């Protein structure tokens, strides 16, 4: 948790802990005593694992605790209920890096959504292993870093990429059809802060050519999946998925075309929900709050 960088209109509390009576009442009472006006609250129970999840957002206009005081005053309550918890602020504007290869449809969509104000973030740079998207980045006034990757320079390329991430204080990395596998060391630097889009309804058809595999299998539905990146390829916690119906008349090119629309939508939703602090990870799953 970091102190908000800009004046915040609302604060957001995210909690997961063992499920028991009194959690909501205790948190609600704490916020009430300090002048919070709760704007939105959502909760979830995993009955099988006995876990409780909560997101609460409140107006800060009459709230009487600053960031440091809030951390200090809430800690005893968190210990009592064995909470993992964090505080986020709507006034924050995190730095986001977008990685892309040759396919630009997801990148175009993300940059458009950012331009019209759908994403509360800064995008200081785009990183690619190909030069193809440079003109698009320049159109949007975003620095473009071409970092070629091949079998012999992968470690060096990742060092360059990580230096760029640190230089720009990047808080979220979005893989917008970046067709390279990140090393475990790279992924470990950004736990639950790298979002990928996979052109398949995972866990079906993993790997680089899922539309071809789907066509060969004769499926009637194709899908796309946004997920957090982990060391295991295409196996991180799933954030969002969507599907489109196809038929025997569709060829591979048709599947690819329909799939692009799905990829844009599921990636954009995942990025927006992450920036709005609506996602909690547990195990290899996510809770995505309304």
Q: What is the mean pLDDT of the chain?
A: 93
pLDDT of 220: 82
Please give the Cα distance from 160 to 56 (Å, whole number): 39
Task: Show which of 40, 62, 89 is a domain's final residue.
Answer: 89
Question: What DSSP element (H or E) covers 225?
Answer: strand 221-228
Does position 211 have pLDDT exceeding 60, yes or no?
yes
> Domain check: are 264 and 215 in the same one?
yes
Is 1 among the domain residues? no
Shared domain for 80 and 101, answered yes or no, is no
Would 68 be classed as within a structural domain? yes
Going from the C-alpha of 129 to that of each of 100, 110, 148, 154, 197, the distances in angstroms are 7, 18, 4, 11, 17
Tokens (6 digits) for 188: 């470990």
Query: 199 and 68: one domain?
Result: no
Q: State how beta strands 95-100 and 122-128 pair.
A: parallel
Whole-angstrom distance, CA of residue 168 vs CA of residue 132 = 22
Q: Are residues 241 and 175 in the same domain?
A: yes
SS3 for 125? strand
Q: Total domain count for the chain?
A: 2
Q: Is residue 65 part of a domain?
A: yes
Are 197 and 266 part of one and the same domain? Answer: yes
Residues 117-169 pLDDT 10s:
999 999 999 999 999 999 999 999 999 999 999 989 999 999 999 999 999 99
Catalytic residue among 64, 234, 242, 290: 234
Active-site residue flag, 254: no
Q: Same structural domain for residues 150 and 39? A: no
As to burial, measured by CB atoms within 10 angstroms (0-12 exposed, 13-18 middle, 19+ buried), residue 55 is buried
Task: State which of 89, 120, 139 marks the end of a domain.
Answer: 89
**Are residue 148 and residue 271 in the same domain, yes or no?**
yes
Q: What's the domain range around 34? A: 10-89
21 assigned to some structural domain: yes
| Token code pair at residue 109 | 């969509």
Within a domain: 20: yes
With respect to residue 2, please indicate whether it lies within any of the assigned structural domains. Answer: no
* Boundary-marking domain end, from 55, 89, 123: 89
What is the helix (H) or strand (E) element at residue 51, kind and residue range? strand 51-59
Residues 101 and 201 reside in one and the same domain: yes
> For residue 106, is it within any domain?
yes
Q: What is the CATH number of the domain that holds 231?
A: 3.40.50.170
The dihedral formed by the CA atoms of 137, 143, 148 and 154, expressed in degrees to the nearest 10: -130
Cα dihedral: 198, 202, 206, 207 (round 10): 10
pLDDT for position 212: 80
Q: Are residues 46 and 118 in the same domain?
A: no
Q: Are residues 118 and 78 in the same domain?
A: no
Which tens digit of pLDDT belongs to each residue from 16-46? Answer: 999 999 999 999 999 999 999 999 999 999 9
pTM over 0.85: yes
Tell me: do 236 and 110 sit in the same domain: yes
Q: What angle do CA 198, 265, 53 make, to 5 degrees?
A: 80
Whether 3 is covered by a domain: the verdict is no
**CATH code, domain with 26:** 3.30.70.260
Mean pLDDT on 196-200: 86
The DSSP line for 193-212 is: -EEEEESS-TTSS-SS-HHH
Q: Residue 225: what are its φ and ψ, rounded to 5°?
A: -135, 130
Distance of CA 85 to the CA centre of its chain: 18
Residue with tokens 């959690």: 23
Q: What does the pLDDT read at residue 275?
A: 97
- Statement to judge: residues 260 and 119 lie in one domain: yes
Q: What is the pLDDT of residues 219-263, one digit of tens each?
A: 888 889 999 999 988 889 999 999 989 888 888 888 888 889 999
């Amino acid at each position: 948790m970091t102190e908000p960088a800009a004046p915040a209109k609302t604060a957001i509390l995210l909690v997961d802990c063992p499920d028991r009576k009194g959690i909501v009442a205790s948190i609600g009472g704490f916020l009430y005593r300090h002048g919070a006006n709760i704007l939105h609250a959502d909760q979830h129970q995993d009955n099988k694992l006995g876990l409780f999840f909560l997101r609460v957002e409140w107006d800060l206009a009459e709230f009487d605790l600053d960031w440091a005081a809030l951390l200090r005053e809430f800690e005893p309550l968190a210990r009592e209920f064995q909470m993992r918890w964090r505080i986020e602020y709507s006034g924050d504007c995190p730095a986001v890096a977008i990685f892309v290869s040759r396919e630009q449809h997801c990148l175009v969509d993300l940059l458009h959504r950012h331009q019209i104000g759908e994403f509360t973030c800064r995008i200081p740079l785009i990183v690619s292993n190909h030069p193809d998207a440079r003109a698009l980045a320049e159109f949007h006034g975003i620095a473009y870093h071409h970092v070629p990757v091949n079998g012999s320079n992968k470690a060096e390329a990742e060092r360059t990429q990580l230096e760029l991430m640190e230089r720009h204080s990047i808080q979220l990395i979005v893989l917008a059809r970046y067709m390279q596998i990140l090393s475990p060391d790279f992924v470990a630097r950004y736990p639950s802060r790298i979002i990928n889009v996979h052109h398949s309804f995972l866990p079906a058809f993993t790997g680089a050519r899922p539309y071809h595999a789907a066509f060969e299998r004769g499926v009637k539905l194709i899908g796309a999946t946004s997920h957090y990146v982990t060391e295991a390829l295409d196996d991180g916690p799933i954030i969002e998925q969507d599907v489109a119906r196809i038929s025997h008349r569709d060829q591979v090119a048709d599947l690819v075309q329909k799939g692009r629309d799905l990829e844009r939508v599921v990636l954009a939703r995942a990025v927006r929900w992450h920036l709005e602090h609506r996602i909690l990870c547990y195990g290899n799953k996510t809770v995505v709050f309304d």
